[in-house]
Structure 1
Amino acid sequence: MYKITVDRGHALIKIEMRAMLDVADSARLVSELIAQITEARLESYALILDISQCPVQSQDMISAMGQHLTRMKRVRAIAIVTGTMLARLQVRRIFSQPFTRFTSTYDEGLRWVLSGIEPGASPTAG
């Protein structure tokens, strides 16, 4: 359904979603995410949300995720790896923070959250 990975060295959280989630699933995901951030003692962190292998979610779940995200105060950069344009349009409504970028690949998202390289820019551009 989903997998959360914490990289303490880079203060990086990666969430991979691969299935439909309901409202209760989204609450569990966010609770688990907060617990892992607390356990890792991250003062601030970057987040990569990979939904490229995930089906389009229900509006109820998207709305619930939007409400849960208000609890994430220490995130400094977000990359959302999307597959279909429909998925990108769906999550764009709840991820409106100025430090959020939508990317086509994980590597592009990683460059954004760790180095501030804008998606679509050459990694050697400077």
Structure 2
Amino acid sequence: MYKITVDRGHALVKIEMRAMLDVADSARLVSELNAQITEARLASYALILDIAQCPIQSQEMIAAMGEHLTKMQRVRAIAIVTGAMLARLQVRRIFSQPFTRFTSTYDEALRWVLSGVEPGGASTPG
């Protein structure tokens, strides 16, 4: 359904979603995410959400995730790896933070969250 991986060395959290989630699943995911971030003692972190292999989710689950995400205070950069354009359109509504980018590949996502390289090649002004 989903897998959460924490890389303390890079202060990086990766979530891979591969199946349909319901509202209860989204609450469990966020609870597990928060527990792992706390356990890793990350003061701030980058997040890669890989939904490239994930089916389109229900509107209820998307709304619930959007509510949970407003409580993520320590995230400094977000990259969302999307597959189908429909998936990108669906999650674009809930990820409106200025430090969020949508990417086609995991490597592109990694470059954004670790080095500030904009998807498509240009780096951010710094």
Counterpart of 1:101, as a letter, is R
Counterpart in the other structure of 1:101: 101
Q: Does 1:69 align with 2:69?
A: yes
- The equivalences for 1:104-123 within 5 A come to 104-121=104-121
Counterpart in the other structure of 1:19: 19
Counterpart of 2:83, as a letter, is G
Counterpart of 1:25, as a letter, is D
Distance (Å, rounded) in 2 between the aligned partners of 1:122 and 1:90: 25
Aligned length in residues: 123
Counterpart in the other structure of 2:28: 28
Task: Find the residue that maps to 1:114 and give its secondary structure.
Answer: helix
Distance (Å, rounded) in 1 between the aligned partners of 2:43 and 2:108: 24
CA deviation after TM superposition for structure 1 residue 122, in Å: 6.3
Counterpart in the other structure of 1:7: 7
Distance (Å, rounded) in 2 between the aligned partners of 1:29 and 1:120: 30
Counterpart of 1:37, as a letter, is I
Distance (Å, rounded) in 2 between the aligned partners of 1:71 and 1:118: 25
Q: Which runs of 5+ in 2 are unaligned?
A: none
Counterpart of 1:27, as a letter, is A
CA deviation after TM superposition for structure 1 residue 111, in Å: 0.1
Task: Find the residue that maps to 2:98 and give its secondary structure.
Answer: coil
Q: Does 1:53 align with 2:53?
A: yes
Q: Which runs of 5+ in 1 are unaligned?
A: none
Distance (Å, rounded) in 2 between the aligned partners of 1:58 and 1:28: 16
Task: Find the residue that maps to 2:90 and give its secondary structure.
Answer: helix
CA deviation after TM superposition for structure 1 residue 24, in Å: 0.2
CA deviation after TM superposition for structure 1 residue 71, in Å: 1.4
How many percent identity over aligned positions? 87
